Structure 1
C-alpha cells in the first residue's frame, strides 16, 4: 500500500495532472478551447505569482487503510527563474527551491540536507512551475465548458479536462531530465478542473481528483491549488543551507 500511495503522490505533486484509461472522450467544447487559449495567452506574460496547495491521499489494501494530508504554499518569479515552496506533512515542514535548472528538495528527518535534481532545459522554464504545468495539461486534453461558478464569493468560469495516460507520462518525463515513470500503471478515474477569472483570464483555482487500483489495493487523491498575487513583488531567495549537504540520487531512504 505504501507503494500505491507514493505512486499517487508522484502523479499529483510532480506532474500536476492525472489520466483516464477509458475510450476516447467526446470532442472538446469550442467555448472551453477558446477559454484555455485565452488563459494560456494571458499567463505567458505573468512575471510573478503565489500559490497555496492542499492534498489528500487515501489508500486501502484489504483490512489496512491510510490517509495522508499535506498543505503547502509557494511563490514563483518567472523573470528570475526561481521558485520556492513549503509543504507540511504529518507535522513536518519541508522546503523546496528551483533556481534556474536545478531543484532542491529538503529531506525529512532524520536526514539533513537537500536532494538535488536537474530541471529539463528542453522546454520553457515556466513549465517547471505549477501554474504553467497545469495549464499545459488542459492544452493537451479534451476540455469542456461548465459555465459560471462562484469561488470565495467571486465569479469565475469553470473548464473541465480528462487527460490521457500518454499526456501524463509526457508531462512527467519533461518535468526533469530524468524519467518520472508512473510504475507502469494507469488511473481508473480522474477529473481536472480549472476556475478562471472571466475579467482577467487568469486561473483562480485548479483541482484534481484521481483514483487508482492495483492488485486489490485502491487509492484516491485530491489536490487543490489556488493562485493569488499575480504581478506582485515576491522574495524567492535560496538559503545557503541548500548548498551545504546535497544528495544527488534523492533523499536517503526514499
Structure 2
C-alpha cells in the first residue's frame, strides 16, 4: 500500500509537469474563465515569488502513508528557481536554471541528477505557479464564489480534467512504467486568487489513483506570496560538476 501511495505522489508530480490534459467538450463557467484570464495576465508581470508546500498521501482507509513539506522561490526574470523538500524525514533540493534541472536524488549520500526541461518557449511552465495555471487552462473549470484566505478576500476557482483526458495523458506520457501500474482516477485543482490583485494566494491539488483493489489520494497545498521579493538562486558546485545526465536513475 505504501507503494501505491508513492505512485500517487509521483502521478501528482507528472501531472504538474506542465503537460496538457485536454478533455472533450469541457464545462468552463464564464466567471471562472474570466478570473483565470485575469490571473494569467497578472502572472505575466510577476518577476519573482516564494511558495510553501505540504502534501500527504493517504490510503483508502484514511491512513497516511507518505507526507512532506517544503518551500521554494522563483526568479522569473532570471529563469531560476529552487525547491527544498522534506519527505518522510529526508531532505532534498531541486534547482532549475533556464531549461536545466538539477535534482538531489533519493539515494544514499550526496547524488545529483541533471536533465533538460521542455518549456515550449514559456519558462513559467516549470514553476509551480505556471504549471498550475497551465493545468487550469484545460478541462472543466468552475467558479466557487469568494472566501477569506489568510486574511484576504479571494475568488475560488477549480478545475477537473476528465477521465478520458487523463487516459490520453497516461498513454502519451514518457513515464509509461509509472502509469502502466495504478490508474489515475481523478484530479482536482483548487485555486484561491486575491480578489483585488488577481495574484494566486493558495492552491490545493488532489490526485486519486487505484490499483489491486486499493486506492490512494495525494493532497498538495501550495501557498504563494512575497511577489517581487529579491530571489537569488545558486546551484551547488557539486551539482553542477558531477550531476548524472538524464536525471536521477530509476
TM-score bracket, shorter-length normalisation? 0.7 to 0.9
Determine which of 208, 215, 219 is the counterpart of 1:218. 215
User: Contact conserved, 1:165 with 1:186, CA < 8 A, in 2?
Assistant: no
User: Contact conserved, 2:56 with 2:64, CA < 8 A, in 1?
Assistant: no
Instruction: Indicate the residue corresponding to 1:59 in structure 2.
Output: 59
Instruction: Indicate the residue corresponding to 1:38 in structure 2.
Output: 38
Change (3 A) 1:70 1:193: same
User: Contact conserved, 1:14 with 1:172, CA < 8 A, in 2?
Assistant: no
Instruction: Indicate the residue corresponding to 1:147 in structure 2.
Output: 145
- Count of aligned positions: 244
> Structure 2: which 5+ runs fail to align?
18-22
CA distance in 2, matches of 1:167, 1:202: 28
CA distance in 1, matches of 2:134, 2:66: 27
User: Contact conserved, 1:54 with 1:223, CA < 8 A, in 2?
Assistant: yes
Give me the CA root mean square deviation.
Answer: 2.9
CA distance in 1, matches of 2:77, 2:171: 24
In the TM superposition, residue 164 of structure 1 has moved relative to its aligned partner by 3.0
Change (3 A) 1:49 1:173: farther
Instruction: Indicate the residue corresponding to 1:183 in structure 2.
Output: 179
Change (3 A) 1:15 1:172: farther
> Structure 1: which 5+ runs fail to align?
18-22
User: Contact conserved, 2:142 with 2:158, CA < 8 A, in 1?
Assistant: yes
TM-score after normalising by structure 2? 0.86
TM-score after normalising by structure 1? 0.85
User: Contact conserved, 2:58 with 2:216, CA < 8 A, in 1?
Assistant: yes
Instruction: Note the alpha carbon deviations across 1:91-116, whole angstroms, 9 max, x for none.
Output: 22111100011101112351322111
